[in-house]
């Protein structure tokens, strides 16, 4: 029974609160047990059967797992959600996923008209629209502005220090993933427009803007903004500033519209500074794997990898040298992490496509394919190392296949 079917079975068993109501050995016998490739033994409880079903390769690790590795998985479902009148937000940083030193992520929802107030960050901000539509605005240091509408599969990137805003459009606002180029990022460390105004003397504001000090008698409290309601904006043209010079390369890229790298097992779309010049500190790949397929065995020679799972279920095997290897299971809304230069694969273990983002703190995407490495190495060396026969040597491929199909 695969992980998807085990999860469905647990949901059926859980109906009516059965799981909460019983801890008997007879019931436990119907749940996944720690009796995999190793000897193990059943677990009569106490236990969290939902977690066991979601993590079959932690409950019963493959025989190839060995040694001790840090946790490389955290779910947004386990992150506290901050709720506002116009939306909500939650984050996964190095505080939640300790290994994630280079990248942090935020999952944010804005209702129709909901505004993430004008603000800026010390960190560069990369974003991917998961649902709905949004309007984003920004102004660069040269006084050039940007106003644009984005939908599912579109991305934006704002360099550090660039002031910007986000607003949900009709009919149902938007949800998006924000990625920051520092694992120590914290939503609460954002430079907010309303917060700054509350901490400037009115006399200084009056002098700066050339208006009476009384003009600032009704400033909102910072807690009234952050994510707040405004009317849904009109057409894009209605928000353009007359006479303004626009950002020449733009802050937006249509990632899902890229021509993908196709193979028998799925597709990959790579976005970095080579096809999205604004993205100087974050590179990304959007990976889609068909059932039974896998992201080929590989590693990244330039930086760590931060993952966000959008659809489906899968598992990732990670090899960390010195005989250490571990397998992790993922579902939609989970975050994965692969340390720099660590060998790994991602396999679709469900019956629907597995879709996830690979994120890198870098201006360019780079990977090393195990298959390609062996194919481009003298055959006597390869066969001498691994005892490959002639048929296996012939099957090695000199061209990369980022996603491979089922055997």
Query: Annotated binding site for Mn(2+), which residues?
Result: 119, 121, 125, 164, 298, 300, 305, 344
Start-to-end Cα distance in the chain: 19
Say how far apart CA 229 and CA 362 lie, in whole Å.
35
**179-195 burial, b if ≥16 CB within 10 A, otherwise e?**
bbbbbebebeebebebb
User: Is 296 marked active-site?
Assistant: no
Q: What are phi and psi of 156, to 5 degrees?
A: -130, 160
How far lies 303's CA from each of 103, 293, 324, 325, 347, in Å?
Answer: 11, 25, 20, 19, 22
Name the DSSP class of 215.
G
Q: Across the strands, what pairs with 150?
A: 134
Among 187, 290, 358, 380, which one carries the catalytic annotation? 358
Say how far apart CA 41 and CA 382 lie, in whole Å.
40
Task: Report the sign of the C-alpha dihedral through residues 390, 391, 395, 396, in that order.
Answer: negative
Task: Report the sign of the C-alpha dihedral through residues 67, 72, 73, 79, in that order.
Answer: positive
| Residues identified as active-site | 358
């Amino acid at each position: 029974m695969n992980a998807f079917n085990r999860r469905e079975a647990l949901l059926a068993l859980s109906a009516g609160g059965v799981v909460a109501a019983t801890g008997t050995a007879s019931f436990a016998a119907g749940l996944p047990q720690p009796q995999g490739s190793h000897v193990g033994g059943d677990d009569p409880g106490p236990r969290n059967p939902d977690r066991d079903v979601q993590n079959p390769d932690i409950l019963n690790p493959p025989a190839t797992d060995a040694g001790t590795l840090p946790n490389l998985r955290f779910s947004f479902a386990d992150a506290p959600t901050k709720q506002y009148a116009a939306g909500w937000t939650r984050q996964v940083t190095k505080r939640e996923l300790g290994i994630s030193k280079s990248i942090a992520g935020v999952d944010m929802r804005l209702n129709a008209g909901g505004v993430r107030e004008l603000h800026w960050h010390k960190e560069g901000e990369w974003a991917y629209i998961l649902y709905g539509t949004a309007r984003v605005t920004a102004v660069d240091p040269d006084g050039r502005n940007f106003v644009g509408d984005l939908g599912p599969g579109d991305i934006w990137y704002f360099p550090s220090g660039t002031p910007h805003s986000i607003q949900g459009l009709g009919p149902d606002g938007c949800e998006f993933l924000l990625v920051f180029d520092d694992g120590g990022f914290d939503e609460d460390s954002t430079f907010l427009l309303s917060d700054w105004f509350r901490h400037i003397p009115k006399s200084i504001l009056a002098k700066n803007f050339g208006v009476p000090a009384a003009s600032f008698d009704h400033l909102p409290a910072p807690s009234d903004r952050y994510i707040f309601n405004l009317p849904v904006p009109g057409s894009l043209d209605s928000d353009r500033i007359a006479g303004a010079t626009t950002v020449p390369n733009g802050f937006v890229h249509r990632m899902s519209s890229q021509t993908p790298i196709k193979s028998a097992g799925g597709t990959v779309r790579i976005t970095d500074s080579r096809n999205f010049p604004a993205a100087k500190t974050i590179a990304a790949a959007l990976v889609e794997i068909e059932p039974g397929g896998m992201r080929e065995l590989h590693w990244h020679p330039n930086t760590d990898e931060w993952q966000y799972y959008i659809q489906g279920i899968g598992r990732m095997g990670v090899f960390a040298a010195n005989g250490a290897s571990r397998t992790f299971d993922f579902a939609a809304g989970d975050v994965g992490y692969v340390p720099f230069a660590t060998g790994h694969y991602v396999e679709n273990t469900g019956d629907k496509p597995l879709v996830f983002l690979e994120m890198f703190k870098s201006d360019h995407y780079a990977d090393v394919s195990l298959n390609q490495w062996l194919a481009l190495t003298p055959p006597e060396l390869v066969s001498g190392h691994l005892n490959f026969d002639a048929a296996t040597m012939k099957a090695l491929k000199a061209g990369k296949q980022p996603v491979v199909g089922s055997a």
